Structure 1
Amino acid sequence: MGQTVLALKDATLTLAGNAGPVEILKGITLDVAQGETLGLIGPSGSGKSSLLMLMGGLERATSGSVLALGSDLTALDEDALARFRRGNMGVVFQSFHLIPTMTALENVAVPLELAGVSDAFARAAAELQSVGLGARMDHYPTQLSGGEQQRVALARAAAPRPAILLADEPTGNLDGVNGAAIMDMLFGLRDRHGATLVLVTHAPELAERCDRVVRLADGRIVGEDRMKAAAE
């Protein structure tokens, strides 16, 4: 494995709740290496998605530090965080988050245009081809199946060639066949672009394909496993 691209040290996350502050994450210390595939597993409410959001700068640590590619995300303001994410991270959510008034092609081109890529639409088209949606580029999200929408979301996350790809339950809303296809595509993106992949999953078959799996419970890391299949 390469150098460390994500480093959390004693990171905590406390959010305001109806009955007062709620400790979501409690003293998380974790390093992720360049090119590594890390699975985050644990019961609902254990803090998996919150940890992923900390890594992506979508939530700000209450205390401790979160370094991504050497930048301390806790020290950046919202504008700087947005610029950092745009240049370095791709995020795939369970619920797709596509822009409904834009075609598949436009959805994928948006982050490229924001990043100032001159051939944004050509690259977006190539990325959609790579996820098997060459014939669906001009369709709007409502004209696409769940599996197709998730593929558009994957293409959008991967098109800027991010160093870090974060995926929150990427197969959670899909049936077995579509889920398996998205899984293959995620790992294909990692192999093709050399990205570091961190994913939250409840799917054992997805976790088994990771290099390492970290288990969370009640906002803490309670164990980790190097996966045998990845080590072989």
Structure 2
Amino acid sequence: MHQRPINGLPLVSLEAISLNLASLAGEVNVLDAIDLQVAAGETLGVVGPSGSGKSTLLMIMAGLERPSSGKVVVEGQDFGPMDEDALARFRRDTIGIVFQSFHLIPTMTALENVAVPLELAGHADPFGAAAEELGRVGLAHRTTHYPGQLSGGEQQRVALARAFAPRPKLLLADEPTGNLDGVTGRAVMDLLFDLNARFGTALVLVTHDDTLAARCSRVVRVEDGKIKP
């Protein structure tokens, strides 16, 4: 079934996306002819059972996984002809990613972690902007702390600040509260939706939590590599 955004031109367009991987038991069809569009500024929840292909779909949107067939277009850029360097530059400028595992650099402070993508993008004041972003997520008092000195919720907020600092057009969040307790997880999600509302960044959220998904403007369900009606 073709899923269309609720309004606007698509920021993300996936056309007939399939992914087949080899295994000892034979070829596995991870994704099967998926069509999906995401509008600029939209919040999209992606739900479904474990192993259904949700996270793989997110990785294909990010250009971190190549589909076996089909077309991926993000902000007018067709991923097909782009090499890995071009995709990396495009991600740097356009896409933010928040994982369940925080993926912070352990030898860098919170401030340095957030400043990294800004430095790579040639920002005029990466550390000033990083400090401002940490303040936005309530961590102005933690800028000099290393990841090992932060709680799980604080680490995830640093990861969120890092993803949002370059002002991406698209934010992809893969079970971002999976390693957090309920109260901390809700606080992190409040931040995600607040930043979406404030800056108009499109948010695609993979989650097992139907209540959380219901906060999105639209929800799609993935089962057996297909989007279910």
TM superposition score category, shorter chain reference: over 0.9
Give the counterpart of 2:192 among 171, 186, 191.
186
CA distance in 1, matches of 2:29, 2:210: 27
CA distance in 2, matches of 1:194, 1:164: 9
Give the counterpart of 1:149 among 150, 155, 173.
155
Q: Give the paired residue count.
A: 223
Q: Tell me the equivalent position of 2:175.
A: 169
Q: Tell me the equivalent position of 2:46.
A: 40
CA distance in 2, matches of 1:147, 1:87: 26
Partner secondary structure for residue 26 of structure 1: strand
Q: Are the equivalent residues in 1 in contact too, given 2:44–2:203 (CA < 8 A)? A: yes
Q: CA deviation at 1:221?
A: 0.4
Partner secondary structure for residue 22 of structure 2: strand
Q: Tell me the equivalent position of 1:209.
A: 215
> In the TM superposition, what whole-angstrom CA distance separates every residue of 1:14-65 from its partner, at most 9, and x where no partner exists?
2232333321100000111111100000000000000001111110111010
Q: Are the equivalent residues in 2 in contact too, given 1:93–1:170 (CA < 8 A)? A: yes
1:92 aligns with 2:112: no
CA distance in 1, matches of 2:186, 2:223: 26
Unpaired stretches in structure 2, ≥5 consecutive residues: 1-6
Higher relative contact order, structure no. (Cα contacts within 8 Å, ≥ 6 residues apart): 2
Partner secondary structure for residue 152 of structure 1: helix
Answer with 196-205 or 10-19: which moved more: 10-19
> In the TM superposition, what whole-angstrom CA distance separates every residue of 1:72-98 from its partner, at most 9, and x where no partner exists?
112211000000000000000000100
Q: Are the equivalent residues in 2 in contact too, given 1:9–1:64 (CA < 8 A)? A: yes
CA distance in 2, matches of 1:17, 1:126: 47
1:75 aligns with 2:81: yes
Q: CA deviation at 1:166?
A: 0.4
1:16 aligns with 2:22: yes
Q: CA deviation at 1:192?
A: 1.5
Partner secondary structure for residue 32 of structure 2: strand
Partner secondary structure for residue 94 of structure 1: coil
Deviating beyond 3 angstroms after TM superposition, the runs of 4 or more aligned structure 1 residues are: none
Q: CA deviation at 1:193?
A: 1.3
Instruction: Give the letter for the 2:210 counterpart.
Output: P
User: Percent identity over the alignment?
Assistant: 65
Partner secondary structure for residue 17 of structure 1: coil
Q: Are the equivalent residues in 2 in contact too, given 1:2–1:35 (CA < 8 A)? A: no
1:131 aligns with 2:129: no
CA distance in 1, matches of 2:22, 2:164: 33
Q: Are the equivalent residues in 2 in contact too, given 1:35–1:196 (CA < 8 A)? A: yes
> In the TM superposition, what whole-angstrom CA distance separates every residue of 1:121-167 from its partner, at most 9, and x where no partner exists?
00000000000001011111111011000000000000000000000
CA distance in 1, matches of 2:134, 2:21: 38
Give the counterpart of 1:60 among 39, 44, 66.
66
Superposition RMSD on alpha carbons, in Å?
Answer: 0.9
CA distance in 1, matches of 2:22, 2:105: 29
Q: Are the equivalent residues in 2 in contact too, given 1:25–1:219 (CA < 8 A)? A: yes
CA distance in 2, matches of 1:39, 1:69: 20
CA distance in 2, matches of 1:18, 1:159: 42
Q: Are the equivalent residues in 1 in contact too, given 2:133–2:165 (CA < 8 A)? A: yes
TM-score normalised per structure 1: 0.94
**What is the 5 A alignment of 1:95-106?**
95-106=101-112
